Amino acid sequence: MSWELWLLTGLAGFAAGLLDSIVGGGGLILTPAMLNLHPGLGILQTIATQRTSSLLGTSVAAVNYFRHVTVERRIVVPALFSALAFSAIGVQFAKRIDPDLLKATVLVVCVLLAIYTVLRKDLGLREDRRYAPRAEAWAAAAVGGACGFYNGLIGPGTGTLLVFAFVSVVGLDFLKSSAVSKSTNVAADLSSWTVLAVGGFVQWTLAVPLIIGNVLGSYVGSRLAIRKGDRFIRMIFLAVVFALVARVGWGLLQ
């Protein structure tokens, strides 16, 4: 690679890490950037390489969040392990389902998310716990499992769905939801990344600038979210959801 291409790849990783560390949706930036900067890559090589960087970047964001935000283990641990297991199951189903059907499903889900969030103007601005402690652990496991399955089956928007689900189902505020979503997203990504890495799809030459950029972007983004708080995260969340609707809708019309 030329140094210009290396730098552009790193900048794409930074932008994706910045967005992903707040509410997810980094793939909105990174996937088109990678396909344009490196047109010779196959789609599996693109996914495997960028997921390598997002795993590390999201891990940095998770550590940063948990240094400043306290979320009970009974929520984090069940969600993490459930996401890890169900993501692997989702990958197996993805091989047998029509891609256009998957895109239509993503579009419907994103539209519903946008409508619900706009109508519930106080959503995620304060905690509104809905379950007793024991039931809360099961609810967190259900969220992790459902979003992990979605991650393996479809992929795009998993981080955004996790943030929404922990807010609307468990009753966390946006800041705590972003924190627990990061660790859950890492677990969900780990299954599919392992399969792709073992298959030799990771392009490590490209992964290096992506990792550097994504880690830096994730650190900056998580610090920004912590400092700005729930209203800022809600605003970014809505922007990402509308962007996902536009992207998937355009893809279906092509």
> 177-226, pLDDT tens digit by residue?
989 999 898 888 887 788 788 888 899 999 999 999 999 999 999 999 99
> 149-187, pLDDT tens digit by residue?
887 777 767 888 898 899 989 999 988 998 999 989 888
> Residue 212: which domain range?
3-253
> 10-50, pLDDT tens digit by residue?
999 999 999 888 888 787 788 788 888 888 887 778 878 88
Phi and psi, residue 39, nearest 5° = -65, -15
Question: Looking at the 3D structure of the chain, how many domains does it have?
Answer: 1
Give a three-class secondary structure readout of the chain: CCHHHHHHHHHHHHHHHHHHHHHCCCHHHHHHHHHHHCCCCCHHHHHHHHHHHHHHHHHHHHHHHHHHCCCCHHHHHHHHHHHHHHHHHHHHHHCCCCHHHHHHHHHHHHHHHHHHHHHCCCCCCCCCCCCCHHHHHHHHHHHHHHHHHHHHHCCCCHHHHHHHHHHHHHCCCHHHHHHHHHHHHHHHHHHHHHHHHHCCCCCHHHHHHHHHHHHHHHHHHHHHHHHHCHHHHHHHHHHHHHHHHHHHHHHHHC
> 93-141, pLDDT tens digit by residue?
766 777 666 667 766 777 777 777 777 777 767 888 888 888 999 999 9
Write the Ramachandran bin of 251: left for phi over 0, alpha for psi from -120 to 50, otherwise beta. alpha
